[in-house]
Amino acid sequence: MRAGLQISWQGIRDEVLRRIRTREWPPGARIPGEADLAVEFGCARATVNRALREVADSGLVERRRKAGTRVSLHPVRKATLDIPVIRKEIEARGARHDFSLILREEAEPPARIRGRLLGTPGRACLHVTGLHLADGHPHAFEDRWIDIAAIPAARDADFTRCSPNEWLVQNIPFEGGDISFAATRADAAMAQVLECAEGDALFVTERSTWRNDRGLTTVRLSFAPGYRVHAGL
Amino acid sequence: MRAGLQISWQGIRDEVLRRIRTREWPPGARIPGEADLAVEFGCARATVNRALREVADSGLVERRRKAGTRVSLHPVRKATLDIPVIRKEIEARGARHDFSLILREEAEPPARIRGRLLGTPGRACLHVTGLHLADGHPHAFEDRWIDIAAIPAARDADFTRCSPNEWLVQNIPFEGGDISFAATRADAAMAQVLECAEGDALFVTERSTWRNDRGLTTVRLSFAPGYRVHAGL
DNA sequence: CAGTGGTCTAGACCACAAG
DNA sequence: TTGTGGTCTAGACCACTGG
């Protein structure tokens, strides 16, 4: 047993961060190996490993076998943001969520959508649009394409009460996806739906999800003016 | 020693994900304890723990002592996005980066900024604005406030060649921060700087960083039309 | 109170990549 | 080739919290 107090991996992580912050370990410098640090902190190497892995995940150090661990020269900050179901997001603000279905059709998607779905020309897709409301006010316009061949159950789904956004999250587990954020101006149709002025700046997200390298669905969400996404660093 | 092949924590993670995907473990269900899974997979409990911790980090399951591990009813997708230094971001696209300093003054920040800096009224701040260029074209307008008391070295920094964005990343390690994204319309001044039309939709990010609960700097970046942020899911 | 996850240990072997 | 991180083990104690 050890004489001193037990040290946690969080404690080691904090100490490592402190040494980086104070330039005791300057950018680009190689820091001691796990074994050395384990001796210094009087703990097992696994504990040091856990701590350094966390620091590496945050991007502040880079680790490579044989080369050791180095303080990053150009730390890439990583922000993690939660993307909740829209209903949850609205209810978390204490508002009531409703979804109003606008369009539901089976059609061949335009090339841009087909590319995102990784689909082949001629394949039928389900095209659904609708409006998410917060306490009766427009919150976001959802424009979604679903590959029916990949998700046959979608054909029978009732999107009049449950938005595609929520239905898919609950029914279709996916493996991967990507999301992008941008700003666009509201055109006349969008302005009418979102009850905003034409030309207003809208926050827009586009998401695609897939499973087994097969595109499942792609969606464009246009949020009413004033929407803002937050994330920690 | 064991008879079968060694199983990795990634393998266990993938198997867990498969069972969730196939509804073998439906949403809301409690899954077997770590000890049981360790027996089933023929590995140590620590290995199962590592795998389940990863799955929990992705938001697909929720773990609580005594209550066990449950498949999330409303999985909150987490997106991780990298926030590189602007120069790196531009150079990654094969373009040349320049920074053009527009304003540098010491002034008392408006209340909104002061709130973000957690500063006290009357404290002087460094106010710097400038334009990031990609191959000579406007890329983003930077509007930054720096707490001089917290970062005295900023007073002597040369922002004519190195943008505050880059200078701070390289010189001021911080502990925490937050970032938000929004869409706004370009006003006349912004349109002139970014060489876009007045009223264009601009993607805007606002970041604040702090250390020891003390605000260091807050910045608003307004990107030229067409800018887009990508992230994985 | 007691079940479950959280963490630590001491040791071992392995994979990768720098020299 | 060899140093370094990556991972696994078998066991242990602890912290939290549900019942």
pLDDT by 10s per residue, chain A, length 233: 444 567 899 999 999 999 998 899 999 999 999 999 999 999 999 999 999 999 999 999 999 999 999 999 888 888 888 898 999 999 989 999 999 999 999 998 998 888 887 766 667 899 999 999 999 999 999 999 999 988 999 999 999 989 999 999 877 777 788 899 999 999 999 999 999 999 999 999 999 998 877 889 999 999 999 999 999 87
Sequence-distant contacts of A25-32: CB under 8 A, at least 24 apart:
A25/A71, A26/A71, A27/A71, A27/A72, A27/A73, A27/B170, A28/A70, A28/A71, A28/A73, A29/A70, A29/A71, A30/A67, A30/A68, A30/A69, A30/A70, A31/A61, A31/A68, A31/A69, A31/A70, A31/A71
Q: What is the pLDDT of residue B1?
A: 41
Within 8 A by CB and 6+ apart from A82, the residues are: B59, B76, B77, B78
Q: What is the pLDDT of residue A5?
A: 62
d(Cα A176, Cα A201) in Å, to the nearest integer? 29
Chain A nearest-CA distance from B95, in A, is 18
Q: Which residues of chain B have pLDDT under 70?
A: 1-5, 119-122
Q: What is the pLDDT of residue A36?
A: 97
- Is B10 in the A-facing interface, judged by CB distances under 8 Å? no
Put simply, the answer to whether B228 touches A181 (Cβ < 8 Å) is: yes
Report phi then psi at B163, rounded to 5: -65, 155
Q: What is the pLDDT of residue B119?
A: 66
Which residue of chain B is at minimal alpha-carbon distance from A46? B46
Is the distance from CB of A195 to CB of A137 less than 8 angstroms? yes
Which residue's structure tokens are 């002087």? B124
Q: What is the pLDDT of residue A121?
A: 67
Q: What is the pLDDT of residue B80?
A: 86
Candidates A182, A180, A150, A181; CA nearest to A168 is A150
- The dihedral through the CA atoms of A188, A190, A196, A198 has a sign that is negative
Quote the pTM value. Answer: 0.89
Window 66-95 of chain A: CB closer than 7 A to strand D: 66-69
- Is A27 in the B-facing interface, judged by CB distances under 8 Å? yes
* Tokens of residue B107, six digits: 């002034």
Window 51-90 of chain A: CB closer than 7 A to strand C: 64-67
d(Cα A161, Cα A224) in Å, to the nearest integer? 21
Q: What is the pLDDT of residue A157?
A: 93
Q: What is the CA A83 to chain-centroid distance, rounded?
A: 6
